Amino acid sequence: MSENLRVAVVGAGRMGADHIQRLHHRIKGVEVAAVVDVDAWRAKEAIEGIDGASAYTDADIAFEASGVHAVVVATPGHLHEAILTRALDRDLQVLCEKPLTHDAATSWNVVQSEVALGNRRIQVGFMRRYDHEYRQLREIIQSQELGRLLMLHCAHRNPQVPEGYSDSNTVAEAAVHEFDVIRFLTGAEIAGVHIRHGRSSQHAGKGLRDPQQVLVETSDGTLADVEVFMNAQFGYQVTTEAVFERGVINIGGDAGIRRQAGGRWGGDVSPGFETRFQAAYDAEFQAWADAARRGTVDGPTAWDGYAAAVCCEAGIKSQASGVPVKVNLHTRPALYSA
Amino acid sequence: MSENLRVAVVGAGRMGADHIQRLHHRIKGVEVAAVVDVDAWRAKEAIEGIDGASAYTDADIAFEASGVHAVVVATPGHLHEAILTRALDRDLQVLCEKPLTHDAATSWNVVQSEVALGNRRIQVGFMRRYDHEYRQLREIIQSQELGRLLMLHCAHRNPQVPEGYSDSNTVAEAAVHEFDVIRFLTGAEIAGVHIRHGRSSQHAGKGLRDPQQVLVETSDGTLADVEVFMNAQFGYQVTTEAVFERGVINIGGDAGIRRQAGGRWGGDVSPGFETRFQAAYDAEFQAWADAARRGTVDGPTAWDGYAAAVCCEAGIKSQASGVPVKVNLHTRPALYSA
Amino acid sequence: MSENLRVAVVGAGRMGADHIQRLHHRIKGVEVAAVVDVDAWRAKEAIEGIDGASAYTDADIAFEASGVHAVVVATPGHLHEAILTRALDRDLQVLCEKPLTHDAATSWNVVQSEVALGNRRIQVGFMRRYDHEYRQLREIIQSQELGRLLMLHCAHRNPQVPEGYSDSNTVAEAAVHEFDVIRFLTGAEIAGVHIRHGRSSQHAGKGLRDPQQVLVETSDGTLADVEVFMNAQFGYQVTTEAVFERGVINIGGDAGIRRQAGGRWGGDVSPGFETRFQAAYDAEFQAWADAARRGTVDGPTAWDGYAAAVCCEAGIKSQASGVPVKVNLHTRPALYSA
Amino acid sequence: MSENLRVAVVGAGRMGADHIQRLHHRIKGVEVAAVVDVDAWRAKEAIEGIDGASAYTDADIAFEASGVHAVVVATPGHLHEAILTRALDRDLQVLCEKPLTHDAATSWNVVQSEVALGNRRIQVGFMRRYDHEYRQLREIIQSQELGRLLMLHCAHRNPQVPEGYSDSNTVAEAAVHEFDVIRFLTGAEIAGVHIRHGRSSQHAGKGLRDPQQVLVETSDGTLADVEVFMNAQFGYQVTTEAVFERGVINIGGDAGIRRQAGGRWGGDVSPGFETRFQAAYDAEFQAWADAARRGTVDGPTAWDGYAAAVCCEAGIKSQASGVPVKVNLHTRPALYSA
C-alpha cells in the first residue's frame, strides 16, 4: 500500500483522544479518517484540526462511509465484542485496546471469528511489548546469555484509583498487563494464579483490598510474584526483576535496564552518538519539519551556527598558544532576537 | 501546508543515509523527494524503496527539478556554504548539519544572506537541543527553581577517532557541540575560551593531544569546564553537571536526569502510565500501522487477548476463594502459531 | 566494669577465627582470653599473636580456668545447646552464632533456662540487625513517615553452595536470616510460612531445589515474599524492598538506602563531613594508633602537611592575581621517601 | 607495646571532643589519658565518664604529668607549631589535624625538626586517605588496570559557612583536602595552581567568592579541576571523577565506587557475606561487648533464636508438603518483653 492507511478511531475518551493525536502527529503513513463516539460533540471535538477526518456516532456507518482500512478500538471493554465483529465483517485491520473483550467466553468468540476469516486482523493493545526495556529483557531471556530464566518479581504501582474501584478491577485493568508480560517474556502460557491479601492501605477505597500479591506459575515452571498496588501514592512505577541461572536483570526502575552478573552490577554505556542521540535526532527532524511546513524555523538558527564557528576559532587559537582567547561576535541581527 | 513537506537530502554518506531513513520511516508530514550526492551510485542506493524519490548529483538541478520545499544538508562542512547559498536563493527551508560552514567568516556571510532575505530559513543541526534531558535542564535553569546557574561541568567522551584526527578536529567536531550547549543552556554568549593539555592517552593518534580541557566563560559569568576525550575507549558518553545556588543537576549519565537538592539526591518517578509508556505507545502504533499496510498483524494477537481474559477470570476466582486457581485454555488455533 | 571484658571463643573454624581477629583488633573494651576447639591445633593457631589468650579443647574447662566474663559461640549448631547450658550455669554473657540451637524444642529449653536465671544473658548472632540499612529501614517503619508497612519483597542470593546442600539447609542457613529480619523490621511474629518451587537452576546440586520462594505472613498482616537462591553465581546480594502506604524503600542494593516517595526516587545527601567521613576518621585513628604502638607513622606525614601548605599559599596568590601560580617545594628529605 | 597507647588530646572543641569520644569508645588499644584545653571547664567536661583521664590547660604540663605516649592535636591551626615542637621534644607520636601549621614556612620548620629527630612521629589529619573509596581509586590508579590516569574532576560542596569566611579560608580549609587527595591519588607533587571565579552565589557572605574553580596540574602532567563550593546549601558532598586511558571511575557519589569501562557502567557486587556484612559484624560485636560489660543484652535474644527455629521447622514442613504451614509459638516470657 503506497497510500496512507486510513484509520477510524472508535471511542474518543481520554485514551481515544490521545491516540487520535498520536496517529495524526507522530505515526508515519497514517491518516485519521473517522472518529466515532456515541457523544457526537466529543467526536467532533476530536477531529478538530485534522483535515479530511469525519465524526460519527455509529461505528458501522463510519466504516461504511469513510472508506477506512483500519480501526483503533478505544471504547469501554464491554463494547469491544460488537465493534470487533463489525470490523472483522469488513475485514479491517484492528488495534484493540485491552481487554480484547470483557470476558473469556466472548474473547474466545472473537478468536473463532478471526480464525474463520483465516487472517490475523486484530492486534491487542498490550503496549508494554513495545517498551524498549521489556524487549531487551525478552531478548536476554531468549538468548539464555545468563542461563535459563527462573523467577520473575514484578510490581505494578499506580498513584491512585477512584472510589468504587474493586478487587476485580485490579485484575482486569492492572494485573492483566502483567499476565501478558509474563507470557510475552517467557513464551509460555500461564498455568495457575493465586492472589494473596494482607494489610490494606488506608488509601484504598471501600471494598478494595490494596495492595494485592498475585502469584503466577507458567506452564514450563517459571514462578512469578506480582505486587499490584493501585493507590501507591508516590507515582506510577512498573518494574520487573528477572532471575536467571547466572544473573539478574532489572527493568522499569529509574536507571534503565540493569544487569547483575559476573560480580558486577550496572548497565550499558551507549556505543556511539547515533544510539545516544537517536531520539534527539528524531525529535529535531520532526520539529524542523513541523516548523518548515509553517514556513519558519524555531530551532537553532544560522546565528547559532555563526557563534559556534567563532568559538571554534578561538578554541583552536588557544590550543596553539596555551592561553585564554576572547570571543568577539558581530552584533546580533534583529532577525535572531529571541 | 496540508500536503507533505517535500525534502531534498544533499549528501548520502553515513549521516545523510541515516537521515533519509529517518525522514522516510519516522517523520510525519514529510516525503523524501530528492537525494543528491556527487557519487551517483550512492544517491541511487539511498532512494531505494522510497516511492517518488529521485537521485541527483547536483544540488541546484535537484532543487529545480524535484519541486522540493526544503533541504537537509549532510555533506562535508566545506561544501555547506555553496549549498546554503543555492537554497536561500530559492527560499527553501534548510536543516544544515553542523557546522553551518567551515569557518567564522563564511558563516557570517550566510547569516547576512539570510538577514537580507528577511526570514529564518536555516536551522543548524545542533540536535542536543532536542535531547529530553538537555531540555529539562534548560527549563530548570530558566525557572531558577534551584537559584541561579553558577557553573557547568561537561564531558564529551567518544570511543575512538581514526589516525589523522587533529587537535583542531577536536574543537570543530566535538567541542562545537559543547559551545552550542553552553549557549543554549545559559542563554548567554561565550566570552572566552581556554584549552589546557596534560598527559595524553596512548590511544591518541600522532599529532593529537587527547583528552583536552576546554575552559569557557560566558558573557554573564558562568564558568564551564569541558573534558573532550576523543579516544575514551569505553563508550560514547556526553554529560553535563550544572551547579546552582541551591543544588546540582546531572544529565547524560546512566540514570536519567538527576537532582541533588534539599538534602536529597535522585530523580522523578513517572506520574502516570501515559508518560511512562509514551514511547511504547508510539512504537506500538507505528508497528501496527506498518504491518496493517502490509495487511497483517505482528503484535499481540486475539489469542493473546483471549489468554489474558482466561487468566483474569482465574485471578478473580482466586481473590474470592483465597486459594490457587488453575488456568485452562482452549487449544491454540494454528493461525496463532509463533 | 572498668576492666576489659574477657571473652572465650568456642569454635575456631572459619567463622570463629574471623571473630577472634575481630575481637582482638577492632572491638574496644574486650580481650580474647580463651579459644576452645576440639581440634587442639586449630585452637592454638587461633590465639597466635594474642597476648594473654589460652587454647583449650573443652569449653567447660576453659570457662573454669580462664576467668572469662563472656562467651562467643561459633561451633556447628548441634553443639550449641550443651555450650549454652554450661555458659548459663556460670552466668556468663553469650554471643551465640545462629542458630540458637538446632531445633525448636531445644531452643525452647534454652529460653526456659535463661528465664529461670532471670537475666538476659544470650544474644543470638542475627548480625543483620546491626547493618546500617536494615536499622534505617526499621526506623522508617516505626516512624510511619511513609504510612504503615504493607509488604516486604526480599531476596537472598548466594554465589554457590557445595554438593550435598539440601532444601532444609536453605531454610536453616539462609531463610532463617530473613525470618529474623522480617520479625525485626515489623515488630510482629511470623504467623505462617509457605515455600514454592519452580524451575531449578542447573547449578543446583543433586537433591536441592534452587531458587525457592518463601512466602511469609506476619501476625499483623504484612505479606512478605523471599527469593532464596543459593547458587546465584553472580555474587552475594541481600536486598529488601519495603512497600508502604505512601512510598517504597529499597535496601541492600548498590546505591545505599533508596526511597521512592512524593514523585521522587533517590536517597539522602550527607549533611556534613562528620557523617560523610565518620568511617574514614575511625579508620584513620585506628591505623594511627596501631602504627604509634609500633613507634612509627604510616599515614600522611609532616612532608604531606608541608606540601599542602605550599599549595595553599599558591592558591591564595592565584585568587588575588587571577593567573596560574607555580608551586615550588624544598627537596624532599629522605625520611619521607616512599 | 602490649599495654594500651596512652593519648593526650590537645583541643577539646567540636573536633577534639569528637575525637575523644572516638578514641574512648571505638579505637582499640588506646586510652585517653589527658585532655588539654585553655578552657579548663571544657577540658573537664570532655573527660567526663573516662576513667583514668585528667584535664589540663597546658599541653607541656599535660605531657609531663600524664605519661602519655602520643598526642592528638585538635586546636586552631595557628597553635599547632608550638604544640608539635613540644611533642617532638618529648619524642611523642602525633596525630595532627590539618593544617600541619598555618603557613608553609612554619610547616617547613616542623619538617626539619622531625628530620633532625630521625623518626617519623607526626601524622597529618588528611582523613580522606582512609576513606574506602579513595583507597580503592588509588589502587585502580596504581594498578593501571584502566591505563594511565589522565584527568581528575573533583567537587567539594559544603552546605554553608558563616559570615566572615573568606576566599583564603576556602583554600586553607577546603581546597587543602583536594590538594592532598590529588597528591595521594597521583603519587606526584602539584606543580601549579590556578583559581578562577565566575558568578557568585547569593548565599556567599560578603567578601567571599563562591564557588571557585581550582585548576591544578601535577608534576607528571595530570590535569585536575576542583569545584570548591562552600555554600552549596543542599548537603555535603565530596566527589572525584578519575579519567583513565580506558575508562572512568567515580567516587563519593551516592552509589559507591562506579566504573565505566568496556561498554559498561556500574559497580561490584559483594562476593560474599563476610564483605557484605563486615561492618554489621563489627557493630554487632561492639554492641554486644558494650552491653555485656553492663551485664545485659540489648540485641537479638534467645527468644528471637527460638522464634526463628520454629519458623524454620514450619518452612521445612512446607517444602515437603507444598502447602502453607502455620507458625505456633509458646507464650513469650516476660523476660523478653520489648
Domain presence at residue D288: no
D40 plus D100 within the same structural domain: yes
CA B91 to CA B144: how far, in whole Å?
39
Give C-chain residues touching B260 at CB under 8 angstroms.
269
Q: pLDDT band for B170, please (50, 70, 90 cuts).
A: very high
Enumerate neighbours of A (3 or more CB pairs within 8 A): B, C, D
CA A336 to CA A297: how far, in whole Å?
11
Residues 6 or more apart whose CB falls under 8 angstroms from that of B337 comprise: none
Of B263, B269, B271, the CB nearest to C268: B263
Residues B78-105: pLDDT tens digits? 999 999 999 999 999 999 999 999 999 9
Pick from B334, B316, B337: which is nearest to B325 by CA? B316
Q: CB–CB of B264 and C265 under 8 A? A: no
Residues A204-257: pLDDT tens digits? 999 999 999 999 999 999 999 999 999 999 999 999 999 999 999 999 987 789
* Domain extent for D119: 5-125
Q: How many Å lie between the alpha carbon of B306 and the closest alpha carbon of chain C?
A: 25
Residues C256-285: pLDDT tens digits? 899 999 999 999 999 999 889 999 999 999
B331 plus B239 within the same structural domain: no
- Picking from B248, B268, B288, the residue at the C-terminal end of a domain is B268
CA A107 to CA B10: how far, in whole Å?
52
- Picking from A101, A125, A149, the residue at the C-terminal end of a domain is A125
Residue B223 touches chain A, beta carbons under 8 Å = no
Give the helix/strand (H/E) hosting B126: none
A120 plus A156 within the same structural domain: no
- Picking from D71, D97, D125, the residue at the C-terminal end of a domain is D125
Give A-chain residues touching D259 at CB under 8 angstroms.
266
> Could you tell me what percent of chain C has a pLDDT over 90?
96
CA B333 to CA A110: how far, in whole Å?
12
Supply the mean pLDDT for chain B: 95
Residue B265 touches chain A, beta carbons under 8 Å = no
Give B-chain residues touching C271 at CB under 8 angstroms.
263
Q: CB–CB of D281 and C330 under 8 A? A: no
Domain presence at residue C277: no
Domain presence at residue A95: yes
Give the cell for residue C282.
575511625
Mean pLDDT value of segment D232-246: 97
Residue A233 touches chain B, beta carbons under 8 Å = no
Domain presence at residue C281: no
Q: How many Å lie between the alpha carbon of B212 and the closest alpha carbon of chain A?
A: 9
Residue D188 touches chain C, beta carbons under 8 Å = no
D51 plus D157 within the same structural domain: no
Residue B164 touches chain C, beta carbons under 8 Å = no
The answer to whether residues C130 and C205 touch, using CB atoms and an 8 Å cutoff, is: no
Of B126, B158, B307, the CB nearest to A183: B307
B14 plus B109 within the same structural domain: yes
B45 plus B137 within the same structural domain: no
Q: pLDDT band for D53, please (50, 70, 90 cuts).
A: very high
The answer to whether residues D255 and D267 touch, using CB atoms and an 8 Å cutoff, is: yes
Q: How many Å lie between the alpha carbon of D260 and the closest alpha carbon of chain B?
A: 7
C24: nearest CA in chain D? D28
Give A-chain residues touching C267 at CB under 8 angstroms.
none
Sequence length of chain B is 338
Q: CB–CB of D153 and B227 under 8 A? A: yes
CA dihedral D212, D218, D222, D225 (to 10 degrees): 0
Domain presence at residue A294: no
Q: Which of residues 111-130 of D touch C (CB under 8 A)?
A: 111, 114-115, 118-130
Residues B15-36: pLDDT tens digits? 999 999 999 999 999 999 999 9
Predicted local distance difference test score (pLDDT) of residue B236? 96
Enumerate neighbours of D (3 or more CB pairs within 8 A): A, B, C
Predicted local distance difference test score (pLDDT) of residue D3? 86
Supply the mean pLDDT for chain D: 95
D168: nearest CA in chain C? C316
DSSP one-letter string for A34-99? EEE-SSHHHHHHHHTT-TT-EEES-HHHHHHHHT-SEEEE-S-GGGHHHHHHHHHHTT-EEEEPSP
Q: What is the CATH number of the domain that holds C116?
A: 3.40.50.720
Domain presence at residue D282: no
Give C-chain residues touching B259 at CB under 8 angstroms.
266
Q: How many Å lie between the alpha carbon of B336 and the closest alpha carbon of chain A?
A: 8
C138 plus C264 within the same structural domain: yes
Predicted local distance difference test score (pLDDT) of residue B314? 95
The residue among A197, A269, A276, A323 with the most chain D CBs within 10 A of its CB, best to mutate, is A269
CA D259 to CA C310: how far, in whole Å?
33
Using the predicted structure, report yes or no on whether residue A2 has a pLDDT greater than 80.
Answer: no
The total number of structural domains that make up chain C: 3
C138 plus C261 within the same structural domain: yes
Predicted local distance difference test score (pLDDT) of residue C137? 98
The residue among B7, B85, B111, B220 with the most chain A CBs within 10 A of its CB, best to mutate, is B111
Mean pLDDT value of segment D63-78: 95
Pick from D273, A226, D311: which is nearest to C238 by CA? D273
The residue among A303, A329, A336 with the most chain B CBs within 10 A of its CB, best to mutate, is A303
Give the cell for residue B235.
563508550
Predicted local distance difference test score (pLDDT) of residue C1? 61
C133 plus C241 within the same structural domain: yes
Using the predicted structure, report yes or no on whether residue B287 has a pLDDT greater than 70.
Answer: yes
Q: CB–CB of D268 and A267 under 8 A? A: no
Domain presence at residue A203: yes
Pick from C152, C153, C171, C149: which is nearest to C161 by CA? C171
Pick from B89, B87, B52, B56: which is nearest to B70 by CA? B87
Of D151, D246, D263, the CB nearest to B211: D151
A–B: how many Cβ contacts below 8 A? 475
B298: nearest CA in chain A? A123
Q: What is the CATH number of the domain that holds C237?
A: 3.30.360.10
Residue A283 touches chain B, beta carbons under 8 Å = yes
Q: Which of residues 296-335 of C touch A (CB under 8 A)?
A: none
Mean pLDDT value of segment A1-29: 94
Peptide bond preceding A324: is omega within 30 degrees of 0, i.e. cis? no
Buried b (16+ CB within 10 A) or exposed e, A99-124: bbbbbbebbbbbbebbbeeeebbbbb
Give the cell for residue B212.
583536552
- D153 forms bridges with which residues in the sheet? D225, D241
C28 plus C56 within the same structural domain: yes
Using the predicted structure, report yes or no on whether residue A1 has a pLDDT greater than 70.
Answer: no
B260: nearest CA in chain C? C269
Residue B263 touches chain C, beta carbons under 8 Å = yes
Q: CB–CB of B264 and C263 under 8 A? A: no
CA B317 to CA B313: how far, in whole Å?
6
Domain presence at residue D329: yes
The residue among A243, A250, A264 with the most chain D CBs within 10 A of its CB, best to mutate, is A264
Residues D7-42: pLDDT tens digits? 999 999 999 999 999 999 999 999 999 999 999 999
Using the predicted structure, report yes or no on whether residue A99 has a pLDDT greater than 90.
Answer: yes
Q: pTM to 2 decimals? A: 0.95
A247: nearest CA in chain D? D269
Residue A267 touches chain D, beta carbons under 8 Å = yes
Enumerate neighbours of B (3 or more CB pairs within 8 A): A, C, D
Predicted local distance difference test score (pLDDT) of residue B256? 84
Burial class (CB in 10 A: 0-12, 13-18, 19+), B187: middle
Give C-chain residues touching B265 at CB under 8 angstroms.
266-269
Residue B194 touches chain A, beta carbons under 8 Å = yes
Residues C44-84: pLDDT tens digits? 999 999 999 999 999 999 999 989 999 999 999 999 999 99
Residue C188 touches chain A, beta carbons under 8 Å = no
CA B91 to CA A235: how far, in whole Å?
49
CA C240 to CA C134: how far, in whole Å?
9
Residues A35-51: pLDDT tens digits? 999 999 999 999 999 99
Give A-chain residues touching D260 at CB under 8 angstroms.
269
C95 plus C146 within the same structural domain: no
Q: Which of residues 197-216 of B touch D (CB under 8 A)?
A: 197-203, 211, 213, 215
D87 plus D198 within the same structural domain: no
